[in-house]
Amino acid sequence: MEIPRQEFQQMLPTIKKAIDECDFIAIDTELSGLHRPGNSKRMDTLENRYAEFREATQRFIIIQFGMCTFTWDEKAGRYIARAFNFYVFPTAMTGKIQPNRVFMTQAQAFDFLSKQAFDFNKWVYQGIPYLTKEEEEAYISQATQRMTDDLPDIPVDDKEKAFMEKAKQKIDIWVKDPKKTEDPEGVNINTRNAYQRRLIYQEVRKSYSELTAEGRSGFIRVMRLTQKQLDKRAKEKLARIKKDCEEAVGFRTVIDWISASRKYIVGHNMLLDVCHMIGQFVQPLPEKLSDFKKLAHDLFPYMADTKYICSTAAILQSEIGSATSLENLRFETNCDKFKNPRIDMHMEFPRYINEKAHEAGYDAYITGSVFLKLHSYLEFQLHPEKVPQEKEEEPEAESEKEEEEEEEEEKEERHRGTEGGWDVSDQEEEEDRAWLDSDEEKQEQVDEEEKEEEVYNYGSVRFPLINDDGKVPEALSEYVNKVTIVRTGFAYFDFVNPEAIQETAGTFYISSGTELPRALVYDAFGAFGKHIVDMTDANSGFVVYEYLKQDPDHVKAAVAQQLHDAGVEGLTIMTVSEYYAEQKERGE
């Protein structure tokens, strides 16, 4: 479902309901750019990579946000998906004030999107604006200040002195005896520009505090209001500010709701998505990596990354292989082994009947579907007894071979009137409605609704995402809140715990009894090739080579000698494999 700016406010209840009722939320973003050119090292430390992502959130923006909710449908034994596609554009054309936003575009990012037929007109003309919390507060305080006329005084320009004299005279005459004037209810001061209007407001506030000035088109009306009128006016003004503000907060509402739901959010290679979601809509990202982790985890307590799950679970790798692009996961999970659970798009969300790869809403839908299938697969490995017995009459999953589709149609037909499969096109849906419009058929529908027990059940197995004891289920415990991060020495990015380093021949652990001089460490290892130093704390860290050609023992000895000569004491250098073996031993 595409949500244009013009319909956003009225669609909010539908969005809220989808978030409130779902089991989890899949997300995806399209960005105006990724990195600054020439800024991508082959290998980098976590800190540097985060700094790069943080910088990206300050430069580039999400221009399309995809959200797909997945809701268990108990009666039909399947999941119902609701995919939303939002264009996001920081327009200043809604609300009364908007920050004047400047953002960066990477031409190559637009090139990429144009290959996917991205609609840049929809983006600018229909994109939904947003305010962060801080911007919202500034907005309210500014609007309230304008309301209470609490503005700093401005000087009266020489050119406007005559205008002001005339205006004051006119007001004075009216004040003296309103009934003697043409318009006993008030006096109108014609103004030519914003400066004159501001001068009049200022004058009335200062010299006629018992009167009220109200802007009209081309003039300002000065009146004497009763207390009741004044109260009503204040109330109306506040209501207007609130409404303007809601419109200006715009898309952040959706992010706030996602966060408030405390539900799983699922992405594919999602670290950059999460950075942008927070940086653009919630608050600027903190400078320190540890602060970011805490903030993100507070906002989104359960994150799951389909790319990370696939590239880490050994059992999945043997099924799927090492190609973990979303497109490939979609392809690989489109077979019998990943049949459970059945997933249908809600019939009011027919946008993705045909593939729309790289539209954020579609990618979110695919990501969530893949997640359900991977999770189910992992659960079946732990609990083979839960694998459902093949039911003879079960319709094929939507993704089955085309030859079987015709057979299916008949079966599908029986289930109309319940939440339909997503293979109901707009047109078919309309035809259905027309069909239902005849009285006879209406009765038939009612009959169907009453015979609830006749809803077809696909018999899918649902696995909880959070156990009754509040814990993440065993099948997911190794994956939740860990996401893919490439080109670092680490196997993943962890929102909660420290990351584990990748065990390759070119990775070392180093520690000393006192603070390790980082530059010295960097130089000592430098003799053997390009490498990074990722400190875990002041006294210890990891060293990772891009390619190490020398014998690791030789490297250890040479570096130890050099650091010893430089005065570093209590030094330990070992390969990461040795380090983890030692850690394990200590643990046991």
- Interacting residues toward its own copies by CB under 8 A: 32-33, 36-38, 59, 89-93, 98-108, 110-111, 113-114, 118-121, 123-125, 155, 157-158, 547, 549
Q: Which is nearer to its own copies, 297 or 530 (CB)?
A: 530
Q: How far is the CB of 37 from its own copies (least distance, A)?
A: 4
Task: Indicate the helix (H) or strand (E) that contains 10.
Answer: helix 5-21
Q: Which is nearer to its own copies, 42 or 584 (CB)?
A: 42
Q: How far is the CB of 555 from its own copies (least distance, A)?
A: 15
Bridge-based pairing of strands 212-215 and 186-190 is unpaired
Q: How far is the CB of 150 from its own copies (least distance, A)?
A: 21
**d(C-alpha 418, C-alpha 212), whole Å:** 59
Q: Which tokens is 247 given? A: 């419109």
Q: Which is nearer to its own copies, 110 or 580 (CB)?
A: 110
Q: How many CB atoms lie within 10 A of CB 187?
A: 23
The full DSSP string for 170-181 is HHHHHHH-GGGS
Q: Which tokens is 351 given? A: 């946008």
Q: Which is nearer to its own copies, 116 or 229 (CB)?
A: 116
Bridge-based pairing of strands 507-511 and 219-223 is unpaired
**d(C-alpha 25, C-alpha 67), whole Å:** 7
Check residue 399 and report its DSSP letter: T
**d(C-alpha 518, C-alpha 532), whole Å:** 11
Question: Number of C-alpha atoms within 13 angstroms, CB side, residue 370?
Answer: 31
Q: Which is nearer to its own copies, 88 or 258 (CB)?
A: 88
Q: Which is nearer to its own copies, 122 or 294 (CB)?
A: 122
**d(C-alpha 478, C-alpha 93), whole Å:** 46
Q: How far is the CB of 65 from its own copies (least distance, A)?
A: 16
C-alpha 19, offset from chain centre: 13
Q: Which is nearer to its own copies, 72 or 89 (CB)?
A: 89
Q: Which is nearer to its own copies, 170 or 530 (CB)?
A: 530
Alpha helices, DSSP H, located in 472-551:
474-477, 518-526
Q: Which is nearer to its own copies, 15 or 128 (CB)?
A: 128
CB 91 within 8 A of CB 5: yes
Q: How far is the CB of 118 from its own copies (least distance, A)?
A: 8
Side by side, which strands form the sheet with 540-545?
531-537, 540-545, 507-511, 572-575
β-sheet bridge partners, residue 74:
none
Q: How far is the CB of 89 from its own copies (least distance, A)?
A: 7
**d(C-alpha 324, C-alpha 330), whole Å:** 10
C-alpha 527, offset from chain centre: 44
Q: Which is nearer to its own copies, 59 or 221 (CB)?
A: 59
Q: Which is nearer to its own copies, 106 or 333 (CB)?
A: 106
Check residue 418 and report its DSSP letter: B
Q: How far is the CB of 108 from its own copies (least distance, A)?
A: 5
CB 82 within 8 A of CB 420: no
The full DSSP string for 44-98 is B-HHHHHHHHHHHHHH--EEEEEEEEEEEETTTTEEEEEEEEEEB---SSSSS--
Q: Crossing angle, helix 46-59 and helix 271-281, to 10 degrees?
A: 50
Q: How far is the CB of 585 from its own copies (least distance, A)?
A: 29
C-alpha 442, offset from chain centre: 42
Q: Which is nearer to its own copies, 125 or 208 (CB)?
A: 125
β-sheet bridge partners, residue 213:
222
3-state secondary structure of 547: coil
